[in-house]
Chains A and B, each alone.
Chain A
Amino acid sequence: MGERIFDVFALRAGRLVRGTVSQIAAINKKYMTPHVTTTPAVRVALLLLRLYLLALVGILIYKFITLVR
């Protein structure tokens, strides 16, 4: 009985994960092409944003390491 419940649960969980993965793939495909007009200003803004976020992640990692130590 317990095994059967586990099987049903595993089957449903597997279906949910597969469904979510295929949904994410569909979303990625749907929005693959960005629709914003890529002017130099847009390119520079996105580049600066990437650099900013990388710096922020660096600070967070540094804080984490110093906390662990």
Chain B
Amino acid sequence: MNFWARSFYNWRRMSKALKLYGIIAGPGIIVMVADNDAGGITTYAATGAKFGYSLLWFLILLGPIAYFIQEMTVRLGAVTKRGHAESIFHAFGPFWGWFSLIDLILVDWLTLVTEFIGMTAAMSIFHVPPLVTVLFVILIMGMMVLRGNYWTWEKIALFFCAVNLVYIPCAFIVRPSISSILWSGVIPHIPAGGFTNAFFFFLMANIGTTIAPWMIFFQQSAVVDKGIQEKDLLWGKIDTILGSAFTVIVAAFCIVVTGTLLRGVDIRDAAEAAIQLMSINKYLGTLLAIGLFDAGLLGAICISLASSWAFGEVFGWAHSLNSRIREAQWFYAFYFFALLSAGAVVLIPGAPLVLITLFVQVIAVTLLPASLVFLILMLNNEESMGKYKNNLFQNVASTSIAVVIIALSTMYAISALFPGILR
């Protein structure tokens, strides 16, 4: 084969592979980018303001950890063809099944409220009343699913994922010192002041935003709904790797923005950071507010679906985005009920929104350890996983990750309940 024939053959092969990836790509990128939800962006903004670039290395470390966990859900979904909730019922029986399902619904609903809090706060910067924001969000999310087509939903979700990259131009606008980022951010170290309670609290908060229980349920259900097979696993893994890279990039750039301009400022939420940045550079504040709204929207899109999928799987309702409303009435009813009720809470004057945000952190901790333990046990079940079960390396890595995450997230929940302990 001459040079031109070989080049043409390689190009054809590459373009075919890219087309195939284009078909299979989606769940991994969406779940990982949606992980940078309103709560996530708030945590990153506060981390940058408190510690500058000093915790960038930790976020880079969290990328592979999130990949390890999410990759297992891809394998489990592709091999068993069951969503995560149904898998737990099937593997561990009704007790653990109901525990996980009810806990998931509660955590998801509370998290959905926090997404609405983030979105209304972001839009209030542009003087948009909360009622208009809530109605607009429900309208967008309704339009995304009403076509009865998973593909349409996924492409719109991927568009919102692309908007999440808005933090990258923000970081270029603030012109940070690259050498400072490399020296004080990328090389692992403990920031000046040592291993303080605040440092520990921020480490735990960043873990809590990077690995969330709903992500496990969402990605497995999305893999099943999309119809990913065992033969597509490689592409599913690449999708998850790209997603985890995106999540780290967005988080890192967000930290660079607040770490450069708001270093030493106490930030309570991302909307406050956007307001502060608005006074320094109005474009920067605007982009940050758009990013916060988009983060909340992406989180809401995924979280409301994670709950509906889980309920549909267990109750045996039609639960595919490829079904039209009259074919999957309960699935869509649940989806809209979660959205409307969560949106309504934000509109109640004097609703205990801070308490709800705090409660999410605590309740999520009751579900996360159970989800991780179930995931690892199911991935070791030869009967259902066959040759796709975890190997020794995957078991050592996933068990170590689970132990560390469970320990740290438990301490995070305890510190949220008893603020005096760590802060």
Binding site for B on A (CB under 8 A): 23, 27-28, 30-37, 41-42, 45-46, 49, 52-53, 56, 59-60, 63
A57 CB, nearest partner CB in chain B, Å: 8
Does B94 contact A32, Cβ atoms closer than 8 Å?
Answer: yes
Interface size on B, as a range, is 20 to 34
**Can you offer 22 A-B residue contacts whose CB atoms are under 8 A?**
A23-B315, A27-B94, A27-B97, A28-B94, A31-B94, A31-B97, A34-B92, A35-B90, A35-B381, A35-B383, A36-B381, A37-B381, A42-B377, A45-B376, A46-B96, A52-B410, A53-B366, A53-B369, A56-B366, A56-B410, A60-B417, A63-B418
> Nearest CB to that of A57 among chain B residues?
B366
Docked Cα-Cα span, A29 to B93, in Å, equals 9
> Nearest CB to that of A53 among chain B residues?
B366
In the assembled complex, B261 has its CB within 8 A of some CB on chain A = no
Does A31 contact B93, Cβ atoms closer than 8 Å?
Answer: yes
> Nearest CB to that of B315 among chain A residues?
A23
Does A52 contact B383, Cβ atoms closer than 8 Å?
Answer: no
A31 CB, nearest partner CB in chain B, Å: 4
| Total contacts A-B at CB 8 Å | 60
With A37-B381, A53-B370 already in contact, 13 other A-B pairs whose C-beta atoms are closer than 8 Å: A27-B94, A27-B315, A30-B89, A31-B93, A35-B383, A35-B384, A42-B377, A45-B373, A45-B377, A46-B373, A53-B366, A59-B414, A63-B418
Docked Cα-Cα span, A69 to B382, in Å, equals 51
**Across-interface contacts of A35 in B (CB, < 8 A):** 90-91, 381, 383-384
Does B418 contact A49, Cβ atoms closer than 8 Å?
Answer: no
> A-B pairs with the 10 shortest C-beta distances?
A36-B91, A34-B93, A31-B89, A28-B94, A63-B417, A34-B92, A36-B381, A31-B94, A49-B373, A35-B90
B390 CB, nearest partner CB in chain A, Å: 12
**Across-interface contacts of B380 in A (CB, < 8 A):** 41
Partner of A27, one of B89, B92, B366: B89
Docked Cα-Cα span, A56 to B96, in Å, equals 16
Does B315 contact A32, Cβ atoms closer than 8 Å?
Answer: no
**Across-interface contacts of B365 in A (CB, < 8 A):** 56
